[in-house]
């Protein structure tokens, strides 16, 4: 296994900072072992101000971190790698020792990854997590809690987390991931107690390199996929490997030439929504069925005799709870699928815009470059920009909870009218 930071593409500055912090954290543990300085805050931070964790951005260790960056920049990859570096027995993420191995494999007892499946992380889940995070690390190093999509915390859950971050147990480290530190994404009070690690959108060449090296993908395919995915590593990997993902992308990129009238615009909107629904359905169906089967087995489905009636009533409640959770997950999967389609579409109009401006940049979608060029000549820069803005406005509207179908229909009409 290579070094734990190997998959963090094009983020050299962040990796340097995280390694330094992991080394400082190891020093804290060594000091604690000789009983000189028992706690992280005392040893790692010289500044006793309220925002103790943020006192020295250049070095040292602190107990709360936020990884920010655009989707696909590797927020959760960075958080996991840092968690491994903190559990590493020999260095700062050697990739060889049990601490690194178990963390990267998701089996380390002292590392919890919270991956929200629904649209938000609830307070119950967060309270349980904070409670467990306060326990002594079984491996003798750190309790690490990774919260992916911390921007999806409910307000109450955020408050529960804030309490834990304000009065951190001595050996607990919180790693949050969010698109940005904007107050919409993360509360100002949580932000003020965390050190921020900004990640940037990795360049396509760096993404292509990792696809070739790690996934064994042919260089030309890797290069195409990296460009088409606009710096999103996971998306690039899927495009390179999954023919279905490629087909869906092609269908999305066919939208601009299909918009020949009002009826066609509504048809295109329906097609886009239904494709997102189908994709989401396929992605959650297997997990849904497995969860339901597991719950039914646990509840002893089909049981008879004394107590069976009461058990069935209890079981109905649990099944209902499961269905609620699954519905929330399905909604999120639909939104994510639709968002991917909109990002692809935005890439097309961005290509048209840069071509109209004769900007010396490579197109996002090399395979529809000719079509984008034709659009550029027909629409000019202004028309291309208006269309790009229509796509971005649709994303923003859905983000603000406008019904997806309505937002997409409005976008299609705007794209058709130009």
| Residue 88 near Zn ion by CB under 5 A | yes
Q: How far is the CB of 146 from Zn ion (least distance, A)?
A: 17
Q: How far is the CB of 143 from Zn ion (least distance, A)?
A: 17
User: Could you tell me the strand order of the sheet in which 143-147 lies?
Assistant: 111-114, 143-147, 172-178, 64-68, 195-198
Segment contacting Zn ion by CB under 5 A, of 43-51, 81-89, 250-258, 300-308:
81-89
- Of 90 and 262, nearer to Zn ion (C-beta) is 90
The two three-digit tokens of residue 48, written as one number = 């006793």
Q: How far is the CB of 3 from Zn ion (least distance, A)?
A: 9
Q: How far is the CB of 215 from Zn ion (least distance, A)?
A: 23
Query: What Rg value do the Cα atoms of the chain yield, rounded?
Result: 24
- 385-394 burial code (b ≥16 CB/10 A, e <16): bbbbebbbeb
Segment contacting Zn ion by CB under 5 A, of 83-91, 236-244, 339-347, 356-364:
83-91
Q: How far is the CB of 108 from Zn ion (least distance, A)?
A: 11
In the set 15, 64, 94, 186, which binds Zn ion (CB under 5 A)?
94
Please choose, from the candidates 330, 333, 225, 337, the residue with its C-alpha nearest in 3D space to the C-alpha of residue 272: 337
- Of 62 and 103, nearer to Zn ion (C-beta) is 103
Q: How far is the CB of 89 from Zn ion (least distance, A)?
A: 6
Q: How far is the CB of 6 from Zn ion (least distance, A)?
A: 13
Residues 98-127, mask of contacts with Zn ion (x by CB under 5 A): --x---------------------------
Rounded-to-integer distance, Cα 111 and Cα 88, Å? 12
Length of the chain: 418
| Residue 245 near Zn ion by CB under 5 A | no
- Of 100 and 121, nearer to Zn ion (C-beta) is 100
| Residue tagged 């087909």 (tokens) | 247
Residues contacting 109, CB < 8 A, separation 6+: 102, 138, 139
DSSP β-ladder status, 195-198 and 111-114: unpaired
- Classify residue 175 by burial, with Cβ atoms within 10 Å: 0-12, 13-18, 19+: buried
Q: How far is the CB of 144 from Zn ion (least distance, A)?
A: 14
Q: How far is the CB of 93 from Zn ion (least distance, A)?
A: 6
In the set 6, 41, 97, 393, which binds Zn ion (CB under 5 A)?
97
| Residue 29 near Zn ion by CB under 5 A | no
Residues contacting 24, CB < 8 A, separation 6+: 44, 59, 60, 61
Rounded-to-integer distance, Cα 132 and Cα 128, Å? 6
- Of 100 and 164, nearer to Zn ion (C-beta) is 100
- Of 102 and 120, nearer to Zn ion (C-beta) is 102
- Of 83 and 245, nearer to Zn ion (C-beta) is 83
Rounded-to-integer distance, Cα 84 and Cα 87, Å? 5
Cβ(63)–Cβ(172) under 8 Å? yes
Cβ(208)–Cβ(226) under 8 Å? yes
Segment contacting Zn ion by CB under 5 A, of 94-102, 119-127, 277-285, 338-346:
94-102
Rounded-to-integer distance, Cα 292 and Cα 158, Å? 30
- Of 100 and 204, nearer to Zn ion (C-beta) is 100
- Of 88 and 150, nearer to Zn ion (C-beta) is 88
Q: Which helix (H) or strand (E) holds 377?
A: helix 369-399
| Binding-site size, Zn ion (CB under 5 A) | 4
Q: Which residues bind to Zn ion, rule: CB under 5 A?
A: 88, 94, 97, 100
């Amino acid at each position: 296994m290579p070094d734990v930071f190997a998959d963090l593409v094009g983020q050299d500055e962040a990796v340097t900072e995280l390694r330094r912090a992991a080394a400082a954290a190891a020093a804290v543990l060594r000091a604690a072992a000789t009983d000189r300085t028992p706690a992280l805050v005392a040893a790692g931070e010289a500044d006793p101000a309220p925002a103790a964790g943020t006192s020295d951005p250049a070095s040292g260790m602190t107990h709360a971190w936020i990884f920010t960056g655009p989707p696909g920049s590797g927020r959760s990859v960075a958080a996991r790698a840092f968690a491994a570096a903190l559990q590493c027995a020999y260095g700062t993420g050697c990739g060889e020792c049990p601490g690194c191995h178990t963390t990267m494999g998701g089996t380390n007892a002292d590392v919890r990854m919270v991956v929200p499946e629904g649209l938000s992380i609830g307070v119950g889940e967060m309270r349980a997590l904070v409670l467990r995070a306060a326990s002594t690390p079984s491996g003798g190093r750190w309790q690490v809690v990774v919260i992916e999509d911390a921007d999806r915390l409910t307000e109450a859950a955020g408050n529960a987390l804030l309490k834990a971050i304000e009065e951190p147990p001595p050996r607990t480290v919180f790693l949050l991931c969010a698109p940005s530190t904007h107050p919409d994404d993360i509360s100002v009070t949580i932000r003020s107690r965390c050190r921020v690690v900004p990640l940037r959108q990795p360049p396509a060449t760096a993404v292509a390199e990792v696809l070739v090296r790690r996934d064994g993908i042919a260089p030309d395919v890797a290069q195409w996929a990296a460009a088409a995915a606009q710096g999103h590593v996971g998306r690039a990997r899927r495009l390179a490997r999954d023919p279905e993902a490629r087909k869906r992308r092609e269908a999305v990129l066919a939208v601009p030439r299909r918009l020949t009238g009002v009826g066609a615009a509504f048809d295109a909107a329906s097609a886009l929504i239904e494709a997102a629904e189908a994709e989401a359905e396929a992605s959650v169906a297997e997990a849904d069925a497995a969860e339901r089967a597991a719950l039914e087995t646990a509840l002893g489905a089909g049981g008879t005799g004394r107590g069976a009636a009461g058990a069935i009533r209890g079981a109905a409640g649990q099944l209902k709870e499961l269905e609620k959770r699954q519905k929330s997950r399905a909604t999120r999967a639909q939104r994510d699928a639709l968002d991917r389609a909109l990002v692809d579409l935005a890439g097309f109009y961005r290509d048209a815009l840069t071509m109209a401006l004769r900007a010396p940049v490579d197109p996002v979608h090399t395979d529809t470059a000719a079509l984008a060029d034709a659009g550029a000549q027909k629409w000019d820069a202004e028309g291309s920009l208006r269309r790009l803005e229509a796509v971005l406005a649709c994303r923003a509207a859905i983000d603000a909870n406008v019904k997806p179908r309505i937002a997409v229909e409005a976008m299609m009409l705007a794209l058709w009218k130009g």
